[in-house]
Structure 1
Amino acid sequence: MRATKVLAAGVLVLALVTGCQSSPGASSTAPDTSDGHDEIGSNQPQLGSSDWQMHDSQVAGPMELAGYADHVSVRSGEPFRLFVTSSAGAYTVRAFRIGWYAGAGAKLIWTSPSVPGKAQPQPILTKDRMITAANWSPTLTVQTKGWPAGSYLLLLRATNGKEKYVPLVVRSDRARDAVLIVSGVNTDEAYNAWGSYSLYHGPRKSAAKRSLMVTFDRPYDLNGARGMLTDNVPLVQQAERSGVRLAYATSVDLQADPGLLKGAKAIVFGGHDEYWTLPARAAITRARDAGTNLAFMGANSVFWRVRYGPDAHGANRIMIGYKDAKLDPSHNAPDTTVHWRAAPYPDPENSLTGMLYECFPAKGAFTVLDPNFFLFTGTGAGAGSAYAGLIGDEADRAYPIAGTPANLQVVAHSPITCGPKHTISDASYYTVPSGAGVFTTGTIEWVRALQGPDPENNVGQPSVDFARQVTQNLFKALAEGPLGRKHPAVGNLPSLHNQASTSTGTGGRVGPSKGPVHP
């Protein structure tokens, strides 16, 4: 009954949109990048603005001020609708494009007129324990003509000073000859506990009452963009600082528009990209095998298998994640929503990332094994150089098991703790016959360290400088084309005597791979 109510509410929203006025006024004019690539000189100080940053004291409550967009991404020139609830009075929306901008971090692209505040209905809880705000009415239609491709934060600000973010990607039309940055919206949504439900828990942190599916038709919790701010924004800022040609997309676009990947120099994933669909993984594997480099800038990548479903706002708006084959109606299929390494169709992540997810909570120093590795140029690192705090709070490890590339080159080999256990975190690199290279940092903390020192996690300036230099080296190398042509991987995993048993980790049993399944 509740699921039917969601659909009916969604139809009502679609009927109301014709009465929603667009807001074409812009506070800042941006060049029209019709080819979908970023052409902004984001290193120009006069273009940047620090006004995109939000102080904790300004964060509005869950229903005081919050909103979501009806698309996770749009092409430049395509409109999108905002669904906002505000008991805090009238508000404005400002669109900030994330970039380097001489350290300012973002540029103001557009500002709305004042929008009257309106309290929307309470969200709906479906029979699958999914919280949805698809019963909200649209409050604003935003035109994006002239908006350059990129990662955006829409900043809602009410008259009482309270604020909230709404993330959005203006995706590129194509990624040919560019380095494509993928925003991990699947993982952001999986952890999103707005309305007290996520794929991890329900009310009072009850795992037994967690959602079995989640929807993009609701705001994000806390400040509205916590995942993007920690695991994507610092990477985008460094990417734009590098000066290489960039393109932008989201996890959803990998399935919805796989042709976007054709001819890309590289595809880069942020600090935490845990949730993948079967078509997305197949598309990325094909791109690698056609010569496109890959970089996994975090850990725990490609760990959970999910699939999408439609709702009244369109396709791919619901992400299904039962996390248990017995609960999943599609319980014996290639897209059964379990670990990628688990039955019924195990295809462990190491065949793509090079390594396996090892553990949480991980802590330790990033310890260099091969100081001559090309990405470590200019860091001053030597064999055994240790960069405090760079391993955390999840980590990967290389294992000599089926699926691990035969030429896997471990370039950092770091003793760490994982709760009471002692284990290893690795950073790795491998190449494939197409010439493509695949680099994995093996730690979620890497991207977060790009922001600057973090005393709470023991990340000091030397660790920040090291991570930034390696990241700059990486983007410039990726943009030159297949890494393996200049830097073929030199396998060294056997010399490390890494154990084949995964008992030191917390990622669960690794099933015998049935190989990739192409949808």
Structure 2
Amino acid sequence: MSDEPSAKLPRRQFLQGALAATTLAAAAGEARSARAADTTPTPDRIRAENALPGADDWQLTRVRVDAAGFRSPWIEGYCSRQSVLPGESIDIFVSTNPVRSFRLELFRMGYYGGSGARLMKTIGPLESETEPTPTPGEKNLHECGWKSTVRLTIPAHWTSGVYLGRLTTVAEPGEAYWQSYVVFVVRDERPADILFQVSDNTWQAYNRWPNNYSIYTHPKGNQGPWADVSFDRPYGREAQHQGVVNDPRTVGSGEFLPFEFPLAYWLEQHGYDVSYCSNSDMLTPDRGLRCKSFISVGHDEYWDLRQFRSVEQLRDHGVNLLFLSGNSICWVTPFEESSSGVANRIISRGGPYGASNDYAVGRERDHGPFPHRGPDEGLLMGARNVEPVNGGGDWIVTQPKHWMFAGTGVQQGESIPGLVGWEYHGQPADIPGLQVVGAGTAWQGGVNPQQWTATIYPGPKGNFVFNAATIFWAQGLSSPPGHVLPWSHWSRPHGPDARVQQITHNLLKRAISG
């Protein structure tokens, strides 16, 4: 299959019915062929992919955000879908102000000999327009209705992964160029050892584009059910920059680069058989049931209730679950369709997970009423969200003789500095066979102490569920090119740590064996 995207049409003709129907029919045929080819196990696919030449130049070099600090109107864009299969098409919507032509470079993120990415396709120069900032809708919804700038059909040979599209303006004489990203997942349907779920619901919940509009910024309060957010808008600069990461080179990439890329980079460095998916791909268990293990990574706070039930089914059918994350499964997050009828493009805070536990009851009392109350997340993850849920601390070993610590040489009470933060889990669930393998105190800048707990418990079919209890776990695995260590509450992780690496190897070895 050709690498070329579908021919770019004059914009006023792009959505004409007959031509669009032909394009979609062709894409559907290609997608069916790609899906048929993708049901065969290919355990060496990641090794083969990472043996290909990497790209030395994939990061953003010239980045500019406006006075509010959240968007880059000089060039910004978004994608029509969170994820896409090979053979399917995805639209990319781009705005420039002032109007400039631009170049689009598409990179797959991985290891690639340490470079961190591979250049898959360069498109352009492309024409653009200055698209309007949407008028806030009900519940402060900002939903862009921009014209499609380019439609890309994903080639059958593109490997599942997280893809960044780097947008670069073509500068006029005597002026500077500007850059930002778009981000999407290429998924597949093949059996794999590891399914890596990106936390894109949480990226979008915190996304403040265009000007401080997120799930947290409604005048009625920052924890209630007041705001809706749309995937039909650019990602601004990563929303945690004021207190966790200070890296403007993330503009347009959600929160993948600071919190999730270190895990993807490390997995691919070691040749693990990994496939990738969006939160929205887990509304049914089908994808996960074709994998041996499922990973939640980084800050995975916002889950549709269907995601919860799907991952419950994975566990009950023998899939191993690794929550290498913190503050996960905190809020029931119903998906809604966009105003144009596209499924799963709007999310909202529907209510807390936690059933009748104190944490959920307190959230309802202080910030409700909410339309939903989710089940006890601890009965799935092994440990729960607690209040306060944010702070920083050391990850302290409590069960050094457990198999997950084999080869690490750790001792009882040994600590891994700064690995807990900026949010975490605690309060272990009453599950037969559950063990607390790490525990300690997290502090909000030296005050408001809270106890965090890392847990592991046996699943019903010889599988297991591990909960690392920290957003920062991936920081102990690798530091890819351009990576900036996060910090919070006057505490920070120290970066790659041989103990975290060996623990994760031990967990994955057990998860994918047999």
Give 1:305 deviation, angstroms.
0.2
Corresponding residue of 2:7: none
Cα distance change of structure 1 residues 154 and 21 upon mapping to structure 2, 3 Å threshold: farther
Match status 1:167 vs 2:177: no
Cα distance change of structure 1 residues 454 and 184 upon mapping to structure 2, 3 Å threshold: closer
Deviations 1:397-426, CA, capped at 9 Å, x for gaps = 133xxx531221111112332352223222
Corresponding residue of 1:354: 382
Matches of residues 411-426 of structure 1 in structure 2 within 5 Å? 411-419=437-445, 420-426=447-453
Distance 2:114 2:406 in 1: 23
The total of aligned residue pairs comes to 442
Corresponding residue of 2:357: none
Corresponding residue of 1:217: 232
Match status 1:378 vs 2:388: no
Query: Once superposed, which parts of structure 1, at least 4 consecutive aligned residues long, lie more than 6 Å away?
Result: 19-22
Corresponding residue of 2:510: 477
Distance 2:231 2:381 in 1: 27
Match status 1:35 vs 2:41: no
Deviations 1:117-141, CA, capped at 9 Å, x for gaps = 31112223112210111x2111100
Distance 2:286 2:346 in 1: 22
Corresponding residue of 1:252: 280
Q: Which moved more, 1:165-174 or 1:294-303?
A: 165-174
Identity %: 29
Distance 1:208 1:339 in 2: 6
Corresponding residue of 1:235: 263
Which of 442, 445, 465 is residue 498 of structure 2 equivalent to?
465
Match status 1:183 vs 2:186: no
Corresponding residue of 1:66: 76
Give 1:476 deviation, angstroms.
2.9
Give 1:455 deviation, angstroms.
8.6
Distance 1:111 1:16 in 2: 28
Cα distance change of structure 1 residues 290 and 323 upon mapping to structure 2, 3 Å threshold: closer
Give 1:70 deviation, angstroms.
0.5
Cα distance change of structure 1 residues 96 and 58 upon mapping to structure 2, 3 Å threshold: farther
Distance 2:131 2:412 in 1: 58
Distance 1:344 1:130 in 2: 20
- Counterpart contact for 1:238–1:472, Cα < 8 Å: no
Distance 1:339 1:428 in 2: 29
Distance 1:305 1:95 in 2: 33
Cα distance change of structure 1 residues 163 and 451 upon mapping to structure 2, 3 Å threshold: farther
Distance 1:397 1:81 in 2: 41
Distance 1:472 1:53 in 2: 29
- Counterpart contact for 2:396–2:414, Cα < 8 Å: yes
Corresponding residue of 1:388: 417
Deviations 1:151-188, CA, capped at 9 Å, x for gaps = 111111112421111111001124x3421111111111
Match status 1:52 vs 2:85: no
Q: Which amino acid aligns with 2:497?
A: V
- Counterpart contact for 1:288–1:294, Cα < 8 Å: yes
What secondary structure does 1:225 align onto? Answer: coil
Distance 1:52 1:305 in 2: 35
Distance 1:21 1:371 in 2: 61
Cα distance change of structure 1 residues 20 and 408 upon mapping to structure 2, 3 Å threshold: same
- Counterpart contact for 2:392–2:492, Cα < 8 Å: no
Matches of residues 95-106 of structure 1 in structure 2 within 5 Å? 95-106=106-117
Corresponding residue of 2:343: 315
Distance 1:63 1:479 in 2: 45
- Counterpart contact for 1:429–1:437, Cα < 8 Å: yes
Distance 1:212 1:226 in 2: 19
What secondary structure does 1:267 align onto? Answer: strand
Gap runs ≥5 in structure 1:
1-10, 23-31, 326-335, 482-519
TM-score norm. by structure 1 comes to 0.77
Distance 2:45 2:119 in 1: 16
Q: Which amino acid aligns with 2:381?
A: T
Q: Which moved more, 1:292-301 or 1:415-424?
A: 415-424
- Counterpart contact for 1:42–1:101, Cα < 8 Å: no
Gap runs ≥5 in structure 2:
1-11, 24-33, 172-176, 238-250, 354-363
Distance 2:462 2:192 in 1: 15
Q: Which moved more, 1:382-391 or 1:59-68?
A: 59-68
Matches of residues 143-158 of structure 1 in structure 2 within 5 Å? 143-145=153-155, 146-158=157-169
Which of 116, 126, 145 is residue 115 of structure 1 equivalent to?
126
- Counterpart contact for 1:274–1:300, Cα < 8 Å: yes
